[in-house]
A and B are shown apart, each in its own frame.
Chain A
Amino acid sequence: MRLNIYLTGVGGQGLVTFATVLGDAAIRAGYKALVAETHGLSQRGGSVDVHVRIGDIDAPLIPRGGADVIVAFEIIEAFRAVDYANEDTVFIVNRRLIRPPMIKQKIPSINELENLLRKNIRKLYVVDAYSDAAKLGNIIYENTIILGALYSILRLNQYIPQGVIEESIKMNLRRDIDKNLRAFTIGLKYGNAK
Chain B
Amino acid sequence: MSNCIIRLMLGNHAIAHGAMEAGIAVAAGYPGTPSSEIIEYLLDNGREFGVYAEWSSNEKVAYEVAYGAALAGARSIVTMKHVGLNVAMDPLMSSAYTGVKGGFVIITADDPGMWSSQNEQDNRWVGLHAYIPVFEPYDPQNAKDLVKLALEFSERHGHPVMMRTVTRVSHVRGPVTVCSPEKPRYSEGYVKEPRRHALVPANARTLKGELLRRWSTIEEDVEDAPHVYIDGNKNLIITSGVAFTYALEAVKNYGVKASILNVVTPVPLPRKVITDAVTRADKVIVIEEGDPVLEQQLKALLYDEDIRVPIMGKMENLFNRVGELTINSVMDGLTKALGIVNPLTSIKTISIDYSPPQRPPVFCPGCPHAASFYELKVSTARSGARPVFSGDIGCYSLGINNPFNEQDLLTNMGSSLGLGMGIYHGTNGKTLVIPIIGDSTFFHTGLPALVNAVYNKTPMLILILDNRVTAMTGGQPNPTSMISIENIAKAVGVDYVRTIDPFDTKKAQDTITEAMSVVKGGGVAVIIMRRGCALEATRLNRGHVARYYVDANACRACGICYNLIACPAIVPLENRKAWIDPNMCVGCSVCAQVCPYNAIKPEGNVKEWLGKWAEM
Which residues of A pack against B, CB within 8 Å? 10-12, 19-20, 23-24, 27, 32-47, 56-66, 76-77, 79-80, 82-83, 85-87, 89, 99-103, 105, 107-108, 113, 116-117, 120-121, 139
Contact = CB atoms under 8 A, between A and B. Distances in A.
A86 B472 CA distance: 36
A63 B362 contact: no
Contact-residue size bin, chain B (C-beta under 8 Å from the other chain): 35 or more
22 contacts: A32-B175, A38-B167, A43-B361, A43-B395, A43-B472, A45-B360, A45-B362, A46-B361, A58-B248, A58-B252, A60-B168, A63-B344, A64-B328, A64-B344, A65-B348, A79-B355, A82-B352, A86-B347, A101-B562, A101-B566, A102-B566, A105-B357
Contacts of B511: none
A30 B199 CA distance: 54
Contacts of B348: 65, 86-87
Nearest to B365: A44
B327 A59 contact: yes
Nearest to A25: B8
Interface of B: 6-8, 33, 115-116, 139, 167-168, 171-175, 242, 245-246, 248-249, 252, 326-328, 331, 344, 347-352, 354-364, 395, 397-398, 401-403, 471-474, 535, 562-563, 566-568, 570-571, 583
Contacts of B349: 64-65, 82-83, 85-86
A contact patch SS: loop
Nearest to B167: A38
B326 A120 contact: no
Which 7 A-B pairs give the minimum distances between C-beta atoms? Answer: A46-B361, A65-B347, A35-B173, A45-B362, A65-B349, A58-B248, A59-B245
A176 B32 CA distance: 32
A45 B364 CA distance: 7
A27 B357 contact: no
Contacts of B174: 32-35, 60
A77 B328 CA distance: 22
B175 A27 contact: yes
A103 B175 contact: no
A139 B116 contact: no
Given A86-B348, A102-B403, A61 B168 contact: yes
Contacts of A105: 357
Given A40-B116, A56-B252, A139-B583, 16 more contacts: A20-B173, A33-B173, A38-B115, A39-B115, A41-B397, A42-B116, A43-B361, A44-B362, A59-B242, A60-B242, A60-B245, A62-B327, A64-B349, A86-B349, A99-B571, A103-B358
